[in-house]
Amino acid sequence: MTIDERLEALTQSMELFQAMNVDNEKRYEKHFAVITRNFEIVLDSLKSLERTAAAHERRISDLEGG
């Protein structure tokens, strides 16, 4: 194998690697967006539960005369 053939093979390998890297970045961005959205949903649910618990605590306190 000549030096030119080796350089061509190396160039092709690097182009393939770059294409794979771009694909991986796109997949990562999609997964990260889904994870971020799911986290926001969970956070909103926790805030809602916190408000509900605080309201119940006030009601119980009022019933106990406090």
pLDDT tens for the chain, 66 residues long, are 899 999 999 999 999 999 999 999 999 999 999 999 999 999 999 999 999 999 999 999 999 986
Domain assignment present for residue 59? The answer is yes
Q: Give Cα separations from 41 to 29, 34, 47, 51 (angstroms).
A: 18, 11, 10, 16
Prediction pTM value:
0.60
Report the pLDDT value the prediction gives residue 61, as an integer from 0 to 100: 92
C-alpha–C-alpha distance, residues 2 and 63, integer Å: 90
Domain assignment present for residue 43? The answer is yes
Report the pLDDT value the prediction gives residue 66, as an integer from 0 to 100: 65
Tokens encoding 19 = 């294409």
Q: Per the structure, how many domains does the chain have?
A: 1
Task: Give residue 54's domain range.
Answer: 35-66
- In one-letter notation, the amino acid at residue 18 is Q
The answer for residues whose C-beta is within 8 angstroms of residue 34's C-beta and 6 or more apart is: none
**For the chain, how far is it from start to end, CA to CA, in angstroms?**
89
